Chains A and B, each alone.
Chain A
Amino acid sequence: MASEPPLLTMSGITKSFPGVRALDGVDLDVQAGEVHCLLGQNGAGKSTLIKVLAGAHQPDTGTIHWRGEAVTLRSPIAAMRLGIATIYQELDLVEHLSVAENVHLGHEPTAAGFVVRGKAARASTARLLKRLGHPEIDPARLVGELSAAQQQIVSMARALSHDVRLIVMDEPSAALDPDEVDNLFRIVGDLTADGVAVVYISHRLEEIRRIGDRVTVLKDGRAVAGGLPAKTTPTREVVALMTGRNVEYVFPERPTRDVTAGKPLLEVRGLAREGEFEPLDLTVRPGEIVGLAGLVGSGRSEILETVYGARKPTAGQVLVDGQALRPGSVRAAVRAGLGLAPEERKAQALLMLESVTRNVSVSSMSRFSRGGWIDRTAELRAARAATRELSLRPDNPSVPVRTLSGGNQQKAVLARWLLRGCRVLLLDEPTRGVDVGARAELYAVVRRLADEGLAVLLVSSEVPEVLGLADRVLVLREGRVVHTAPTRELDEHRVLDLVMEGSPAS
């Protein structure tokens, strides 16, 4: 295999978005017929890399060689023509079309150039499904009626309906039962036996051991290790590569006083949402930072949003200062002093067309308005004070919020709640999309807010962040708290073990 040129070579790929450098010189080479695993924590750049490979993102710099020739993947269609197919985590199927129509979408077998030959499409779809070990899926059925696992098979059938040489699978096992995972692995085995290369993304180390040939580890937009043997590299080394800090995280010192003594400010009793997370109890005291650690899909964000009233719980209560909040009401939560910095800052928190001032003032407009009339001088003054307190840069709240870096956008969200006078801060992945340098400052801000008496509930998939910041940690797996402990009794490996336990192959 080594004598031939690699099927795919990506070198020096960089890709920046406003405020973040998602990829910072990534190299990746993939041989025909191998399963090449991509590992990395959230935000390491995996998704961006596969989008570049799929032609969905154009890299800023770097080169891509395909079977020895330099290529530009101008569009998803261009990538597909070369034989690169991508199966995204969020499946991109059209629910209202049949299985066969989905599989042949964009390249329907036709007669006379435009009449779709439905029968031929169904027949070839049936063949593909059989090859994938799912002959029971009827090509004529609507995709919307299928289970998640079956939809994934359809997605794979679509990839195979092209003359495919490389398949990228983004966390394909996330939605699957153990026996379905076995079938997936069998399919991967068949594909590679035919000489097709698979780029496989997963959080589950055990899966990578089972089917992977080589591993590339991404961290902070860089490939920190390329082409390690998947079966023999010790877990410890892989975890160390994933978590090892190139830039040391600087966490603020914990206060010496005992924060566990006070009366709880936020109390969650038996809160649950069916299908998302199981009954949960937790308390946060003023000055305390409580962390929720867990992987994507462990129910972290759902819990936070339910506490905040953005989702309606199926059971349980949220109490602030002993007063129960009306369930499922964001306004009740905000009135009681809760504030949320959501995971998807741009989609869930910021008004991207607006200035920093307006983003900061949006939750406290009544403070500087009389009879609905806004005192804009007072508004600007208040926004300036709140943003200065967090040293938001640039020091000019009139700039549009979209021109800010990720870290400063997050500060704008925090300033909003600071101005509102919020007492309980819910932070969902507060450093997502924030570059390493700016993180330390955000950590310091969060700690200072806690020291000033705020209760902070922190969700993060980055274990060091939870350990570095929180006073107490709840470890979540699949919607359930599997461990609760003061931070000093935990370390990164212990938490990662707890978080990853229960993967099908373990």
Chain B
Amino acid sequence: MTQHASPPRDSTGKVPSAGEPPAWRGLMARADVRTLSLLGVLAVLILIGGITKPDEFLDTRNLQLVLTQASVIGVVTVGMTFVITSGGIDLSVGAIVALASVWATTVATQEYGFGGILFTAVIVGVGCGLVNGMLIAYGAMVPFIATLAMLASARGLALQITDGKTQIVTVPSVLDLGERDAYVLGIPPLVMVFAVVTIIGWLILNRTTFGRRTVAVGGNAEAARLAGIDVRRQRLYLYLLSGLCCGIAAFLLIVLSGSGQNTNGNLYELDAIAAAIIGGTLLSGGRGTITGSVLGVLVFTTITNIFALNNLQSDVQQIAKGAIIVAAVLVQRRTASTT
């Protein structure tokens, strides 16, 4: 970065690169540092859990529980990572999860069985994402405002549908998916869904034109537009994608809790944003990492678990979470500015 041309120079305009390590190596190292530091944090947490509650924390059932809990918010975070990478934000994810989960568990929907519940959850999620996307991409609304409006409306609608009551799921095939019998090689199906969503998300972001366009729009929307990218359509698709993830997460939550509630997904938006940010996705857009986001989710879920096992109240948990967010961002700032 220190190379500056000092005129007059030879006409080839060659930039002397000898003596300096190639910049891309630094970039790689930095990406690694970020992932490694999160892995380190996770390792420390596991160590703490193992020391404070050796029997309970490292118990297979507990680890399965942690991963299952991480799955719901994890799927939401994958969608959120795309939106943030594009320079946007989706504040409505928690509300969409709530709406999708109650819509999919009404008596009428449950009559259609497993397929009806899954289909409804996904369609409601995608539908909300479509509204968000249209408002933002073609209505030129600021993502913050559009999704804040969606947050309020979806929560309201969810309350209207349930009238504040918990809707118990009576479809056995849905409930069975959460039972131990459904585990494959000890892995709960919900965790498998999370893993699949993560892998597909990673591939889309890193290996497809869709991912490239997402990064380009987030990095410099004007440059993307002038390079011939349809920025508006891309934005629409991104909020659709986030909505889709919310729909899937709603279904997972239905399986996990055996019910649909209008209070579901409370503050998911903050958890998902926090996980993505500590994972290394830039809030200003242009850089996103699915791996980082998933590690971020695992860190937060593990903290919650350890605190619960140690009978610490959720207030302490919240404080710890806040501290981790600040620490992670400070570390990132540091690694980002050392070039």
Interface: A396 (CB within 8 A): yes
User: Contact between B8 and A437 (Cβ–Cβ < 8 Å)?
Assistant: yes
**Does B62 sit within 8 A of A, measured CB to CB?**
no
Question: With A and B bound together, what is the CA distance between A331 and B3 in angstroms?
Answer: 35
Q: Is the CB of A331 within 8 A of B230?
A: yes
Q: How far is the CA of A220 from the CA of B9 in the complex (A)?
A: 13
Is A441 an interface residue when CB atoms closer than 8 A count as contact?
Answer: yes
In contact, B224 and A362 (Cβ under 8 angstroms): yes
A19: contacting residue among B3, B23, B207, B226, CB under 8 A = B3
Q: How many residues of B contact A (CB 8 A)?
A: 41
Please pick, from B23, B207, B208, B223, the residue contacting A400 in the complex, using a CB distance under 8 A. Answer: B23
A436 & B216 in contact (Cβ 8 Å cutoff): no
Question: B212 to A437, Cβ gap below 8 A?
Answer: no
Q: Tell me the total A-B contact number using a CB cutoff of 8 A.
A: 152
Known: A330-B228, A362-B216. A247 touches B7 (CB 8 A): yes
User: Quick check: A394 and B212 within 8 Å, CB to CB?
Assistant: no
- Decide if A406 touches B228 in the complex (CB within 8 Å): no
Bitwise interface map of B from 216 to 257 toward A, beta carbon under 8 Å scored 1, else 0: 100110111111111000000000000000000000000000
A349-408 interface (Cβ within 8 A of B): 349-355, 358, 361-363, 365-366, 369, 372-374, 376, 391, 393-394, 396, 398-400, 402-408
CB distance from B118 to the nearest CB of A (A): 25
B223 touches A348 (CB 8 A): yes
- State the Cβ distance, B54 to closest chain A Cβ, in Å: 44
> What residues on B are CB-neighbors of A435 within 8 Å?
5-7, 9, 13
CB of B178 within 8 A of chain A?
A: no
A21 interface neighbour in B6, B23, B225, Cβ under 8 Å = B6
Asked whether, in the complex, the Cβ of A400 is within 8 Å of the Cβ of B24, the reply is yes
The answer to whether A331 and B228 touch across the interface, beta carbons within 8 angstroms, is yes
Bound-complex Cα distance A49 to B228 (A): 36
B17 proximal to A (CB < 8 A): yes
Chain B residues numbered 3-30 whose CB sits less than 8 Å from any CB in chain A: 3-15, 17, 22-24, 27
Evaluate contact between B5 and A330: CB separation under 8 angstroms: no
Contact A342 B7 (CB under 8 A): no
Interface flags, A397-424, vs B, CB<8A=1, else 0:
0111011111110000000100010000
The interface residues of chain B, by DSSP majority, are classed as loop
> In the complex, A342→B224 CA distance in Å?
12
| Residue on B nearest A22 in the bound complex, by CB | B4
The answer for the CA separation of A396 and B20 in the assembled complex, in Å, is: 14
A181 at the interface (CB under 8 A from B): no
Q: Are A441 and B225 in contact (CB under 8 A)?
A: no
- Assembled-state Cα–Cα distance A396/B27 (Å): 14
* A405-B223 contact, Cβ under 8 Å, with A396-B22, A399-B24: no
Chain B residue numbers with a CB within 8 Å of A366 are 209
B222 and A372 contacting across the interface, CB-CB below 8 Å: no
B11 touches A399 (CB 8 A): no
For A402, the chain B residues whose CB sits under 8 A away are: 1
Instruction: Tell me, in angstroms, the Cα distance from A408 to B325 when the chains sit together.
Output: 38
Q: Is B286 positioned at the interface, with any CB of A under 8 Å from its CB?
A: yes
B251-296 with Cβ < 8 A to chain A: 286-287
Chain B residues lying within 8 Å of A437, measured Cβ to Cβ, are 5, 7-13
Within 8 Å CB of B24, what residues of A?
355, 396, 398-400
Contacts of A372 in B (CB 8 A): 208-210
Chain A 321-359, CB-CB to B under 8 Å as 1, else 0, gives 000000000110011000010100001111111110010
Tell me whether A340 and B27 are in contact in the complex, defined as CB-CB below 8 angstroms, given that A350-B220, A352-B219, A405-B13 are known contacts. no
Check if B117 is an interface residue, CB within 8 A of chain A: no
Smallest CB separation, B58 vs chain A (Å): 40
Q: Is B215 an interface residue (CB 8 A)?
A: yes
Q: In the complex, are the beta carbons of A308 and B22 less than 8 A apart?
A: no
CB pair A399–B212 under 8 Å, yes or no, is no
Contacts A19-B3, A220-B7 given; does A351 touch B219 at CB 8 Å: yes
| A347 adjacent to B220 (CB under 8 Å) | yes
Report the Cα distance A420→B228, complex, angstroms. Answer: 11
A308 to chain B: closest residue by CB: B226
User: How far is A432 from B225 in the complex, measured between Cα atoms in Å?
Assistant: 21
| Closest residue on chain B to residue A305 by CB atoms | B226
Contact A436 B226 (CB under 8 A): no
Other-chain residue from A350, A353, A361, A441 in contact with B11 (beta carbon distance below 8 A): A441
**Among A335, A361, A396, A437: residue with most chain B CB under 10 A:** A437
Asked whether A20 and B5 contact (CB < 8 A) given A348-B226, A353-B286, A363-B227, the answer is yes
B223 / chain A contacts, CB cutoff of 8 Å: 347-351
Contacts of B220 in A (CB 8 A): 347-348, 350-352
Which residues of chain A have C-beta atoms less than 8 A from B8's C-beta? 246-247, 436-437
Q: Which residues of chain A from 301 to 324 have any CB-CB distance to chain B below 8 Å in the complex?
A: 308, 310
CA of A394 to CA of B13 in the docked complex: distance in angstroms? 10
Question: With a CB–CB cut-off of 8 A, which chain A residues contact B4?
Answer: 16-21, 405
- Whether B5 contacts A21 by the Cβ 8 Å rule is yes
Tell me the bound Cα distance from A359 to B45 in angstroms.
40
The main secondary structure of chain A at its interface with chain B is mixed
Q: Which residues of B contact A24 (CB under 8 A)?
A: 6-7
Question: In the complex the two chains form, is A374's CB within 8 Å of B212's CB?
Answer: yes
- Asked if A440 is an interface residue, CB under 8 A from chain B, the answer is yes
Residues 93-135 of chain B, each 1 if its beta carbon lies under 8 Å from chain A, else 0: 0000000000000000000000000000000000000000000
Taking the nearest CB of chain A, how far is it from the CB of B202, in angstroms? 13
A354 to B227, CA, bound (A): 14
Closest chain B residue to A248, Cβ basis: B8
User: How far, in Å, is A486 (CB) from chain B's closest CB?
Assistant: 27
Contact of A405 among B15, B22, B27 (CB under 8 A): B15
Q: Nearest Cβ in chain B — how far from A219, in angstroms?
A: 11
Write out the residue numbers on chain A whose beta carbons fall within 8 Å of the beta carbon of B225. Answer: 310, 330
Would you give the shortest CB distance from B9 to chain A, in whole angstroms?
Answer: 4
Contacts of A374 in B (CB 8 A): 207-209, 212
- What are the residues of chain B within 8 A of A351 when measuring CB–CB? 215-216, 219-220, 223-224, 286
List, in ascending order, chain B residues with CB within 8 A of A250's CB: 11
Q: Which residues of A contact B227 (CB under 8 A)?
A: 334, 349, 362-363, 416
Q: Is A296 an interface residue, CB under 8 A from the partner?
A: no
Fill in one digit per residue for B179-211: 1 if any A CB lies within 8 Å of its CB, else 0. 000000000000000000000000000011110
Known: A19-B4, A349-B223. A363 touches B228 (CB 8 A): yes
Bound CA–CA A366/B209 (angstroms): 8
The residue in chain B whose Cβ has the minimal distance to the Cβ of A420 is B228
Residue-by-residue, is A9-32 near B (CB-CB < 8 Å gives 1, otherwise 0)? 000000011111100100000000
Known: A358-B212, A399-B24, A437-B8. A334 touches B228 (CB 8 A): yes
Q: Is the CB of A403 within 8 A of B3?
A: yes
> Chain A residues with Cβ under 8 A from B208's Cβ?
369, 372-374
Other than the known A374-B212, A442-B13, what 9 A-B pairs have Cβ atoms closer than 8 Å? A24-B6, A350-B220, A361-B212, A362-B212, A372-B208, A391-B12, A393-B12, A403-B23, A420-B228
**30 intermolecular pairs with C-beta atoms under 8 Å apart:** A16-B4, A18-B2, A18-B4, A19-B3, A20-B4, A21-B4, A246-B8, A247-B8, A330-B225, A334-B228, A347-B222, A348-B220, A349-B227, A350-B220, A351-B286, A365-B209, A365-B212, A372-B209, A372-B210, A373-B207, A396-B24, A402-B1, A403-B1, A420-B228, A435-B5, A435-B6, A437-B8, A438-B5, A438-B9, A438-B11
Q: Which residues of B contact A (CB under 8 A)?
A: 1-15, 17, 22-24, 27, 207-210, 212-213, 215-216, 219-220, 222-230, 286-287
- In the complex, the 4 A-B pairs of residues with the closest C-beta atoms, listed nearest first: A438-B13, A437-B9, A334-B228, A435-B5
